[in-house]
Each structure stands twice: as structure tokens, then as C-alpha cells.
Amino acid sequence: MKTMDVRNCFWAVGMLAVVAAGRLAAQQATELPVVGAQVQEYRLNAGDGIVVQVFEEPDLDAKVKLSENGRATLPLIGELVLSGMGVKAAAAAIESAYRKGYLVKPAVTVTVTEKKRERFNLIGQVAKPNAYYFPESGTLTLLDAIGLAGGFTRMANQKVVVTRASGSVVKIDASDRTEALKFRLLPGDTVDCRERGF
């Protein structure tokens, strides 16, 4: 009889632990956003290093670094704006430039050799306020940024103020997940997560 009571006791304790773990996981899933849920193509930025190869035209191959205004200087065609493009779009833009009086059917490959890592700052009522790097995709939503910082503290009112590097200010209600997912951060942004009653 005592053996059955001990077994029942262990079973009850085990079930309580499973229920508690399930509740904790559900609570965390609703409180913390999923980071990096969408993988996006990397977009070229000023300062990135790239290699441009033109099929069967080795004299046109180039290893370049995008200038501050996002331009690459290439043989024959000169400067071309590539910043903000994915590698496929950049290759297509270079092919189009070479078709204008230089090559009949250019086949261009663009490879990123060096990525300039941009940063943003998260301050205020988040679990880990700090400076963070953008992911390799180069894009980051406000929701993902807050997730990187461990989510809001209990003192947060979830209304954030984003100060751009240009000095402009944007106010976002991050409790609206749709708005927080649509809003994209830019390099140099400072995200201030305000305290309740502020």
C-alpha cells in the first residue's frame, strides 16, 4: 500500500512539472516575439566588398568595395549604384549596363566577399538594452529587434520612440504586433522603449 502511495505521489509531482512547463512555454511564446522568422535575401550596402565576374571576359572581372553612396566602379561602364539590391538584381543591373554598347549577351555573377555590419541601439525597458548588429540579411523589424533584446520588461508601456540617424523621430505602439512587424529599422537607429507612466 505504501509503495502505491509513493508511486502516486511521484506521478502527481511529475504531472505538475509537465503542466507548469507547458504553461511557462505558452506564456513565453505570447510574450516574446520570434526572431528571424522570415529569411530575406541580403541587400548590398555601402562599404560591402564584392567580386564581379563576367563570363568569358576576364578583363572585365573586378573586385570592388561599394562607396559611401553605394556605387561600384567597374571596367568600361564606370560607376553604377548597387546599394539596396540583392546579388541577382545587382548582376542584372551590371548585365544591362554592359549590353549598352559593350557586350551582346553578358553573363555576370556577383559575389559578396565582405559585409559591412551596421548597428542600432536599444535602450530603456527591455531585458538586455545594448547596441546590436543587424542580421546578415540587412533587414530587421522592430518586433525582431525587441526579441533580440529579450523582450520588454514588466515596466514597459510598449510604446517606443525610434530616433533615426538623420534626427527624425517615429513613435510606434509595439503592442500592435502588426505595426511592429511592418516597421523596419535603419542603421544608426536608437529604439527607446519607454516606461509606464512616462
Q: Which residues of the chain have pLDDT under 50?
A: 1, 6, 9-39, 198
Question: Half-sphere exposure of residue 182, counting CA atoms within 13 Å on the CB side?
Answer: 7
Residues 61 and 79 placed together within one structural domain of the fold: yes
Residues 87 and 75 placed together within one structural domain of the fold: yes
Q: Which three cell numbers stand for residue 5?
A: 502511495
Please indicate, yes or no, if residue 44 is contained in any of the structural domains.
no
Q: Which of 114, 137, 165 is the last residue of a domain?
A: 114
177 close to 143: Cβ distance less than 8 angstroms: yes
**CATH assignment of the domain containing 142:** 3.10.560.10
What number of residues does the chain have? 198
Q: Specify the pLDDT at position 18.
A: 37
What pTM was estimated for this model as a whole? 0.49
Q: Which of 70, 94, 114 is the last residue of a domain?
A: 114
**CATH assignment of the domain containing 73:** 3.30.1950.10
Question: Half-sphere exposure of residue 165, counting CA atoms within 13 Å on the CB side?
Answer: 9
181, with CB counted inside 10 A (0-12, 13-18, 19+), is middle
Which H or E run contains 53? strand 49-54
Q: Which three cell numbers stand for residue 82?
A: 548597387
Residues 90 and 127 placed together within one structural domain of the fold: no
Please indicate, yes or no, if residue 54 is contained in any of the structural domains.
yes
Which domain covers residue 110, as residue numbers?
A: 49-114
Q: How many domains does the chain have?
A: 2
Q: Specify the pLDDT at position 62.
A: 96
Please indicate, yes or no, if residue 6 is contained in any of the structural domains.
no
Q: Specify the pLDDT at position 74.
A: 96
Please indicate, yes or no, if residue 27 is contained in any of the structural domains.
no
Q: Specify the pLDDT at position 40.
A: 60
Residues 76 and 121 placed together within one structural domain of the fold: no
Please indicate, yes or no, if residue 7 is contained in any of the structural domains.
no
